[in-house]
Structures are given as C-alpha cells and as structure tokens.
Structure 1
Amino acid sequence: MSIMMFGFQALMGLFPSFVDSNSRVVIHKTIGCTVLFSILLHIGGFITATTLRSGHFTGHFLMPDIDDYYHARITVGLLAFILVLCAIFSKLWVSGVFSKFGHWLVLPAFYLSSWHALTIGTESRHPAIQIILGAMMIIIALGVVKKFVRPLLPLSSFRIS
C-alpha cells in the first residue's frame, strides 16, 4: 500500500492541477510522512523477522550487497531509501534550486522501490497490484516527459500541420 501512496505523491508533484492548491501542501506532507514511516516500519520489520528466524542480528542486510539476486534487490530498496532521505533533507536543509532538484530524487526512488517490490515483494506479486503499479509507472513517466523533456523541445515540434 505504501508504494501506491508513494506513486500518488509523485503524481501529485508532476500533475499539481489535480489537487486543490490550498490543501496540496497538507496532503503532500501527510502522505510523505506516512510513506517515510511505512518505509521505516518495513525495514524494521524485515530486520526483526530475519533476526528472529536466524537467531542472530541481521543488520548486514542494511549494507549494499550484489552477490546474488535476493541481496541485490535488497540493495535496490536500500538505494531507494537513501534517495528518499536525500529528497527529504534537501527540502529541509537546502534552499533554492538545489532544494527543488533534490526533491525530484523521489522519482528514481519510486522506480527503484517499485523494482524492489515487484521482484522480491510478497503482496506485490498479485496481478491487480502489478497492473496498478505498472499503470502508475507509465503515468509518472509521461509526467516526467511533460515536465522536463517537453519544455526543452522547440515549440514548432508540437505543431500539427
């Protein structure tokens, strides 16, 4: 569910006209805090479960490791988490253009976390979740094109003759 909220957060940033401007900041902060909290719960729950299952502390999963498929996908999730933290702290501690640029790091973080969820997640293996997440990824990609690529192209390339 948190991946869906994460995607909705990205959609809200790319298509701001779909949300009332008066409530946009409140919704953004609420969803952002909820997503961050659910990520922290996910990490804590994973470490706790693997620790209980193995009988020893499994904090080594928090270190990057690409030796095999499963550990590489955990590393993808870890990288997504680091990008989310960079996006949050860039908004809190940096001002101006760098703050806005840093906050856009959530877009690659969303795709990395989607990859993490679709490859080693349990509930994300359900076809309905995969369809919704796939559609969300396509819409976000179109939003990125609309926001970043289209303004760089000359206006004449959008004329219909």
Structure 2
Amino acid sequence: MVVWTTGFRAPDLAREAGLAVGDNGRMLVDATMRSVSHPEVYGIGDAAAARKQDGRELRMGCGPGGLAAACAVRAIGDRLTGRTPRQLRVEGDGHCISLGRKDGLVQYTNSDDSPRGPMITGRLAAMFKEAIVSGAGGFGLRHPTLALVAASRTLA
C-alpha cells in the first residue's frame, strides 16, 4: 500500500501583512476568530490557528474550517449589533475522506481527535462525503442563514 499526502501549509500572507502568527505560520486568533494583533481582522480555515476550549489548535480541514467560519460570521454580527459574541466550542468532529466515487471513510472523533463510534467505509462513506460536498455544503452556501442556525450549536 502507498499513502501519499502533500500536507498542509498556511500561506505567508498573514505574516507578510504583519499579523501575529504561530510557529506554523497560521494567524493567531481569539475564540471568536479575531486576530490577536489586529482586532479588525478575522481569520478562518487552515490559515488561522483557532483553538479548542482545552487550548489545542484546531486541525486543518474543511470540518473545523466550517465551524470557525460560522463562529466568525456570528461574532461579526454580534459585534455590529452591540452583543457580546459567543466563543467557538468544539466538542467533537470527524474525518471524512473520499477515495473516489465508490470508496471512502467517515470516522467521528471526540474533542481530542480520538475515534468515537464505528467507522463507516466503502460506498456508503463515499456517498456521505458527496452529500456533504455537493448537497449540504452547497445548500449552506446558497442559504447562509442556515449556517448561523448550525453555528449556534458550536458556540459557547
């Protein structure tokens, strides 16, 4: 078996813009996804070093990035309306990998990224990933209000 991965790397944009970044180049953000050095700037996704309640950095990936995006959108709206923004709360996550249209794996995880429950593999996992990418993800982009509803479960 051969496993090949190109890895993840944060772009140099945040560092070059003068924002505070960690050793891995990811922008340092608070629990509402706001830059710790420039509070007028928000960072989400793989370029931002969001942290869980236990202080561990969120892993790179679409799942954690989506949670961080929902948190940032909510925080911006809260600040614009004078409310105190809620902080990111991640209680669990999952890994969802497509290996083509007919194979994949889905593994739910605890907040420390340890496996939780059974792993789904094969065609069912590939269909699940496809539903997320083309169905739920696309639907959420077309209807951002639903993302705010979903975000209410990921905010403290």
TM-score (norm: length of structure 1): 0.25
TM-score of the two chains, using structure 2 as the length reference? 0.26
Bigger CA radius of gyration: 1
**Comparing both structures, which one devotes a greater share of its residues to strand?**
2
Relative contact order (alpha carbons < 8 A, sep ≥ 6): 1 or 2 greater?
1
